[in-house]
Structure 1
Amino acid sequence: MNAPETLEIACSRAWPPVAEEFLGGWRLRWADGFTGRANSVLAVGDPDRPVPAALRAVCDFAHDRGIPPMAQVVRDSPNEHAIAAAGWVPATSHGAGHEVVVLTAPLEKRRFHVKATPPGGRFHVKVADEATAGWWELVLGSDAGTEAARAVLGGGKVGYGVATDGEVTTAAVRGALVDGWLHVGRLAVRPEHRRRGLASALMAALGSWGVEQGAGSAVLQVAEGNSGALALYAGLGYAPHHRYRYWVPAPGSCEDSTS
């Protein structure tokens, strides 16, 4: 298995679905619609059957659980070519963006020198083993009470980074540890508190936490259209590793094989 596919498996384990089944190396995932990563098939490796048959099983799995069938696949990989040849199409209507850039950076303890309080601010930054109510509210908003979202974000060894100003949670981020990787996600800063260095301070605190937990590298996933986030992470030393895309069946082509 190539390096992008191996890293995609680690990222999937850091973002665990509520339900998961396997088609050979492919991973069928369900989390009640919370994020594309947890509600699609991760099409890496060999599905142990012809790709058209595997995609029919993907359709059955999705329909049985009430989610749209969708495949996450490394861009320009043999699996992507096979999925396209089977008649599936890019998921251009996917709300978060159908093409995603995977970025990585080495974690070195000497890099993390940002103080707990960013310059000129009253904000306190820390990483904890438990998410606060403010973390959930900022990261999830109206989804804060859903069991699936909490299961995905609470699974595995996780650090919850928060920046606070008194009782107010002004910024948040999530870090999960898998196979020596620190998987970073859900970075959020309240609009009225942006451009104050909070994102950089949180990322530094989370990186330090990752080093303390034994991680050697960090990885994160950003939609290619999110130019602001890409610029932020580039400034923090992250570089593109590979890209993946979401694919969906062409209209009318994904009927249940069991019906």
Structure 2
Amino acid sequence: MSEQLSPGYIIRRGSLLERSLLLKFMQRTYQDLFPNEDFSHLEQTVKQYFSSNTPLWWVEEEGEQGSREAGEQGSNKESFSFVPLSPIACLWVGNAIDQVHGYRHAHIFILYVVPEHRRRGIGTALMRYVENWAIQRGDRQIGLQVFQSNKPALNLYNQLGYQTQSIWMVKFLSTEK
């Protein structure tokens, strides 16, 4: 079942059968940011974390989603076959535990809009969609991580009222002795 996300776009809940499509979108997301890297390890991430407890939504262009087929001969019944359109955006959400207060909250694993559909309000609409979803299930906050170099995403999240709560720091270790 799908619903309108914003003018010209619909959102539908993904299924566990769409694991390979999710992986494709994840690889494309990271490839946009780091074009010279290999992201084959993301398959393990999807395998480990994608479940019925981590909802996935797809955004598609609004339009004819299927074709009408002839009904049973001699009856007025019509049957419809729906062929999904190619998604132009995805949103995958998991759960996290607030380390200060201890309550569960939504955590955005990935929000990705293909480049040719950016700057049309899809990212904003997806963020509002997931915020409403999280409120309905009783969450008090939503968390996400964003690369410091991803200025468009940082701008979006700042405009929507997201604030930096912590800084994730890493140190790369030498394995040579």
TM range, smaller chain = 0.5 to 0.7
Q: Deviation at 1:236?
A: 1.3
Residues 131 and 139 (structure 1 numbering): CA distance in 2 closer, same or farther, change over 3 Å? farther
| Alignment correspondent of 1:242 | 166
Structure 2 unaligned regions, length at least 5: 29-37, 66-84, 98-103
Task: Write the distance in 2 (CA, Å) between the matches of 1:217 and 1:182.
Answer: 7
* Match among 211, 218, 228 for residue 152 of structure 2: 228
Whether 2:90 is the aligned partner of 1:172: answer: yes
> Map of 1:50-89 to 2, 5 A cutoff?
none
Residues 183 and 208 (structure 1 numbering): CA distance in 2 closer, same or farther, change over 3 Å? same
TM-score of the aligned structures, taking structure 1 as reference length: 0.46
| Alignment correspondent of 1:36 | none
| Alignment correspondent of 2:139 | 215
Q: Deviations over 1:92-143 (max 9, x none)?
A: xxxxxxxxxxxxxxxxxxxxxxx83313x2x102344646354443233596
> Map of 1:88-127 to 2, 5 A cutoff?
116-119=4-7, 121=8, 123-127=9-13
Task: Write the distance in 2 (CA, Å) between the matches of 1:131 and 1:239.
Answer: 34
* Match among 82, 98, 111 for residue 187 of structure 1: 111
Task: Kindly indicate whether structure 1 or structure 2 has the higher relative contact order, using CA contacts under 8 Å at least 6 residues apart.
Answer: 1
SS at match of 1:195: coil
> Map of 1:38-49 to 2, 5 A cutoff?
none
Identify the structure with the greater strand proportion.
Answer: 1
SS at match of 1:148: helix
Structure 1 unaligned regions, length at least 5: 1-114
TM-score of the aligned structures, taking structure 2 as reference length: 0.65
Residues 230 and 185 (structure 1 numbering): CA distance in 2 closer, same or farther, change over 3 Å? same
Task: Write the distance in 2 (CA, Å) between the matches of 1:211 and 1:131.
Answer: 27
User: RMSD of aligned C-alpha atoms?
Assistant: 2.8
8 Å CA contact 2:15, 2:56 repeated in 1: yes
Task: Write the distance in 1 (CA, Å) between the matches of 2:86 and 2:173.
Answer: 44
Residues 196 and 250 (structure 1 numbering): CA distance in 2 closer, same or farther, change over 3 Å? same
